[in-house]
Each structure stands twice: as C-alpha cells, then as structure tokens.
Structure 1
Amino acid sequence: MAAAHCNYLSTLPATNLKSRSNHSVRLNHTLTLKSPKNSWMGTKLCVGVKPHVLVCTRRPFSAIVSFSLPTANPERVSPPQELPKWSSKSIKSFAMGELEARKLKYPTTGTEAFLMGLLIEGTNLASKFLRAHGITLFKVRDETVKLLGKADLFFFSPEHPPLTEQAQSALDWAIDQKIKSDDGGEVTTAHILLGVWSEVDSPGHKILSTLGFNDEKAKELESSISKPGIKDD
C-alpha cells in the first residue's frame, strides 16, 4: 500500500569515505526522496538532502603524572644531600586516597583518606601489613563515616581536595624518617602508614587504634622496613 503513494529512494550514490590523519571521517551523501503525492497532506513532496557529517573518534588525552608528594618544606635537606624519592606505590596510594576523599564528598584529604588509599591500591607493603592484622578497606571506610560523618548530598569536592595539616605532617614525618635512616632507598607506603600513626590526634590514628593497631604493631612495621633492600610490595 505504501508503494502506491510513495516511491522509494530514487537516487542513492555510493558513499565517499575518506580517512584523515586525525582519525576524522567525512561522509558525503546526496539523498533525494521523490513522491508524486503525500498521502496525508495531498501535496507533492520533493526533498533533496546533502548532509556533511563529520565523525571524530575520541582523541588521545594527556595526563600529568606526579613523581613526588607534597611536603611543607622541600628544602629540608642541604646539598649535596637530596630528598628521598617516593615509591611508585606511595604515589599511587596517595592518588587513590585523594579520589576516595572526593567520592565521600569531603572537602579535604586527611589521614583517613591515606589509609583508604593504601588499602585500595592493595599491593603495597602497608596494605599487606594492615590486612594481615585484620584491618580492611571496608572497616576503615565505615569507621571514617562514623567519625567524620556523611558529607552534604549537594556538596561537590574540589578536583584535588587540599591536605589537612595532620595529613601534611604525616607526609613530612615520612620524609624526615627516611632522611634519618640514610639508607638511600625510597619512601614507602609503610612510611606513610607510620606517619599517620605519628599524628595521635588525627582521624587516621583514631581509626587505626579502634581497629586494633597499636605501638607494638607500629614498631614491628618499622623494624621490617629498616632492613636493607626492602621493597614496597
């Protein structure tokens, strides 16, 4: 019945497909639709369409990767001594903690976020030590919400929630301890964990204490990382 009132596409030339260096594709179509009579309007219809469609694939993006963590006083060492480097897992754990603070809609990145970041990364020395003593991500997250509460539903954290003073002090403690050891190695996630424990009034310290972490476990961890050639895994 439709064939009685409307012809099908009368002209449909081949598609001209051209690939460009920027992975864009330009499609050129000439489409003509002819009908002697429109069944519902009673008029003739002749439509010519020549669209130019530019289809772009997703372009590669650039990302800035930090190879260090913030310290309040980067000039804490004097030449020729250099600041010790952070391990890659320390940097990744820091980023995971920052992201977790954003997910919980907190305005800052605190010591509690450091703990969650360590456990989210999951393959580092500190996370293995924590899990071996029954401290898991879910427990830390639950204790964090109990201690700090839930954020406002309509609040949005900044892209990089700034560090609290206690979180900054924990990183500084980790750097200072590594400088004192003078073993030339990297600053590991264990140093971050011990730095959190050193901040006795911080949320991270309180959460660790609630979950069974104590000075004896801290000394055990400190003793394990004092061995030469220790790696953050």
Structure 2
Amino acid sequence: MAATQSFCKTSNATRFSRPDCTKFDPFSPTLTQSLKPHSLKNSWLGTTKLSLHSSNLRPLTLKQSPITATVVSSLPTKKSDGVSSAVKVPKWSSKAIKSFAMGELEARKLKYPNTGTEALLMGILIEGTNQASKILRANGITLMKVREEIVKLLGKADMYFFSPEHPPLTEEAQRALDWAIEQKLKSGEDGEVTTVHQLLGIWSEEESPGHKVMATLGFNSEIAQQLLSLISEPGYVES
C-alpha cells in the first residue's frame, strides 16, 4: 500500500505535519539533536563523518603571487676613455633616476626589445616634475605627441612579444647617458647629473629616434644651447 501523508487544517494555512497531526516545531529538542554532527553509513561508501564545526568551514582563498618591482638606484653608464680613474663620477639626481625607470617601463609597455633614446625621452615626460619635462611642455612637446611620433617612426611591436624586465639600452641611449656624465665633468662643478643633462644627451644623438622625435615636434639647436648655458651656470641644481 502506498504511503500516505496527512495534512492538518489551520486557520492560517495548510501545514505539513506528522501523521498524528501534531504541529511541526523547528526548534524542538529532537530536531536539534538530529542536526548534530553524526556519521552516515552506506554499504558502498562505508562510514563518513560529517562535521558542522566552523573550523572546518574555511573560506576559499586564491593564492596570488606578490608583485615585485625592481628599484633602480643608478643608471648604467660606461666609463669614458678620457676620464681618469681618480675622478669621482657624479651621481644622478633622484628625478633623473626615476625618469630612467619610467622610460624602461614605457619600453616594456610598447613591447620594444630595447630601451632607446625615445624611451628615455618618454620617461622624462612621464616623471613630469623634473625641469626637463617642464621645458619640453613649455615648447609644446607632450607625452601624447611624443608617443604618437614614436609609433609612426618605429611602428608597433609584435603583440606576442614580451620585453624583458629591464630592456637593455641601445648603443645610442648608452652614449646619451655617457654624454650627460661627461658634460657634468667638463663643467667642473659639484652636484648631480640632472634630467636636463639627460635630455641634451638624447639631443646629441642626431640619428637616434629620440632626437628625430624632438626635432619633429619643434625642439631645435637654439633651445638646446639655452639649456646648455643653464646647466653650465655655477651651482646649478635641478628644481
């Protein structure tokens, strides 16, 4: 005979009840005890213990590797043949170092295999607070315009290519940094090598992409000469 279910009529609604029509109490001791941790027995699976303790209900966490960034403390500068080993090589300013790091990062964003003079130029503008970037913007040379000209000149990299963490300097970019150091040594003044030295170093490489982009956007020898006079002043410090 098929099992039957009984229902008890109440004034509010029809509720599922036991066969003896006693009311269903969700807080009854019997029901509470039935919800305690117990064991399930199955002829195929054996005995399985169930536990409702909060310590066993750990939230799902996704493992995420930390993002690391390498801080550049100096710039790769070759020792010039004309510089004596006894001469102390001047240090780069903090803004020049940060500009260089931003240039490396921009080269990686564009997926270029090397950090060229064009990347050094973008780094100066991205840092934004240095004197060289202020001079560039005052002459209408902005980061957006520079980036557009670089893409026109060098094109876009292969989308499946990934630059190294520190894209190596091109020979032109290395010479630009060396020029900045040498110019500071020639001045005979103490102090740091600044972004203005760096910018003029880029300009000194006439066949480099950085020089070509600057020339296309209106930078010229007259502006360069003014900057050269600026950094040659006694006690010059980058503002």
TM-score by length of 2: 0.74
Q: Distance in 2 between matches of 1:112 and 1:217?
A: 18
Structure 1 counterpart of 2:214: 208
Over 3 Å counting, the alpha-carbon distance change for 1:156 and 1:216 in structure 2 is same
Structure 2 counterpart of 1:156: 162
Please give the residue correspondences for 1:1-233 in structure 2 after superposition, counting only pairs within 5 Å.
10=35, 32=37, 47-48=50-51, 51=56, 65-73=71-79, 77-233=83-239
| Matched-pair contact (CA < 8 Å) for 1:7–1:34 | no
Q: Distance in 2 between matches of 1:163 and 1:9?
A: 73
Query: Which portions of structure 1, spanning 4 or more consecutive aligned residues, are displaced by more than 3 angstroms?
Result: 6-11, 32-35, 52-66, 74-77
Aligned partner letter, 2:56: P
* Residues 164-200 of structure 1: per-residue CA shift (max 9 Å, x gap): 0000000010011111111011100000100000000
Q: Distance in 1 between matches of 2:158 and 2:139?
A: 33
Q: Distance in 2 between matches of 1:8 and 1:228?
A: 89
Greater percentage in strand: 1
Aligned partner letter, 1:48: S
Q: Distance in 1 between matches of 2:159 and 2:77?
A: 32
Q: Distance in 1 between matches of 2:63 and 2:166?
A: 29
Q: Distance in 1 between matches of 2:162 and 2:97?
A: 24
* Residues 29-58 of structure 1: per-residue CA shift (max 9 Å, x gap): xxx3789xxxxxxxxx96225638598999
SS of the aligned residue for 2:51 comes to: strand
TM-score by length of 1: 0.76
Q: Distance in 1 between matches of 2:65 and 2:158?
A: 36
Give unmatched runs, 5+ long, in structure 2. 1-15, 17-25, 41-47
Bigger Rg, structure 1 or 2: 2
Aligned residues with identical type, % of pairs: 60
Give unmatched runs, 5+ long, in structure 1. 12-31, 36-44
| Matched-pair contact (CA < 8 Å) for 1:10–1:34 | no
| Matched-pair contact (CA < 8 Å) for 2:95–2:195 | yes
